[in-house]
Amino acid sequence: MMKQGLYTIGLTVFAGMLALAQSEPIKLWGNAQGSTYHITYFDSLNRNFQPEIETILQNFDKSVSTYLPTSIISRINSNQKNVKVDKYFIACFNKAKEVWKNTDGAFDPTVYPLVNAWGFGPGKKQKIEKSKIDSILKFVGFDLIELKGNTVVKKDPRVSLDFNAFAQGYSVDVVSGFLNSKGIKAYMVEIGGEVYAKGKKPNGNNWTIGIEKPIDNKESENPVKAIVKLENLAIATSGNYRRFVIEDGVKYAHHLDPKTGYPTKNNLLSASIFSKECISSDANATGVLVMGLEKAKVFLAAHPELQAYLIYSDDKGNYQVYETPGLNTFVTEAEE
């Protein structure tokens, strides 16, 4: 299990697919990682890949799901001996290290003890007190853990990993890679709201999705803020409006600042990041949301490989949007 709910991170996949002259789209859907998946592709051989994809997703969970006690990451977190990591874990760890460095620690998967303490993980929620947070922060930091070959080495046994902030995006890449291996040239993979789309539909149209308005809503779909036309591109959105807890009458969002131990407090409401791979979009979306708007602008200027659509609140509480240059070629505002 990873993020919860199809629309957890703010992407609405439009279901109205056109019937095409060349072939009918093959549509697969199901449950995965505590959420759902929807996959649409065109195949002249009319093959159904759902059994293979289900197996891939199950094996993926066996590697990096903190909700599965027997997974590789859970066994590492509990300090079991002689745990050997697999290709999924290695890919997640290396990407996490890269984004951790690039974001100056705003993205940090060692926040797992904090995630549990705040009630956002599988662990039991704790009473939040400054002394408790300060004690946990002593073993939060990606410099306290490293990967040597296929073995994880910790400087402090209390260090624990949580890849949930971006592993769902990586699972999109994994399934996309499988479809590529089968010769599929046009598809869209969505898992828990993270999306990658390849090629165009046979009629020449792009794949189309929507970015939600960041309205507090744990259960259902929000109105669409922007329309996105995707081609050979991934998108992931992180927002503070789907998962939150109320502590002593105060709302706390689930994105935690690794440096303070507390949920982020800034005017950035959601961050949609576009890139060539969904793992990068997903991890950087989390980092950008933690940074806040002004630091995010500086970060994005230094990383032109990332495109961003950021929704923030102005001084009067109104929605405002910051877009990186060139985004208007495939993102348009939705009609009110």
Q: Which amino acid is at 284?
A: N
User: How far is C-alpha 25 from the geometric centre of its chain's CA atoms?
Assistant: 26
HSE on the CB side for 230, CA within 13 Å? 31
Q: What is the mean pLDDT of residues 193-208?
A: 95
Output b/e per residue, 282-294; b: 16+ Cβ within 10 A.
bbbbbbbbbbbbe
Q: What is the mean pLDDT of residues 54-81?
A: 96
pLDDT > 90? residue 307: yes
Percentage of the chain modeled with pLDDT above 70: 85
Q: Which residue has the higher pLDDT, 254 or 105?
A: 105
pLDDT > 90? residue 40: yes
Q: What is the mean pLDDT of residues 105-129?
A: 79
- Residue 245 has a pLDDT of 46
- Residue 233 has a pLDDT of 97
Q: Are 307 and 273 in contact (CB under 8 A)?
A: yes
The token pair at 6 is 């199809």
Separation CA 245–CA 256 (nearest Å): 12
Q: Which pLDDT band holds residue 110 (cuts at 50, 70, 90)? A: very high
- Residue 116 has a pLDDT of 79
Q: How far is CA 173 from CA 139, 158, 189, 190, 306, in A?
A: 31, 31, 9, 10, 16
The token pair at 209 is 């999705």
pLDDT > 60? residue 248: no
pLDDT > 50? residue 161: yes
- Helix H, strand E, coil C: the string for the chain is CCCCCCCCCCEEECCCCCCCCCCCCEEEEEEECCEEEEEEECCCCCCCCHHHHHHHHHHHHHHHCCCCCCCHHHHHHCCCCCCCCCHHHHHHHHHHHHHHHHCCCCCCHHHHHHHHHCCCCCCCCCCCCHHHHHHHHCCCCHHHEEEECCEEEECCCCCCCCCCCCHHHHHHHHHHHHHHHCCCCCEEEEECCEEEEECCCCCCCCEEEEEECCCCCCCCCCCEEEEEEECCEEEEEEECCCCEEEECCEEEECCECCCCCCECCCCEEEEEEEECCHHHHHHHHHHHHHHCHHHHHHHHHHCCCCEEEEEEECCCCCEEEEECCCHHHCEEECCC
Angle (CA) 175-176-182 rounded to 5° is 95
State pLDDT tens for residues 11-31.
555 544 433 334 699 999 999
Domains of the chain and any CATH numbers = 79-154 (1.10.3980.10)
CA-CA-CA-CA dihedral for 175, 177, 179, 185, to nearest 10: 130
- Which one, of 184, 238, 216, lies nearest residue 48 by Cα? 184
Cβ atoms < 10 Å from Cβ of 151: 12
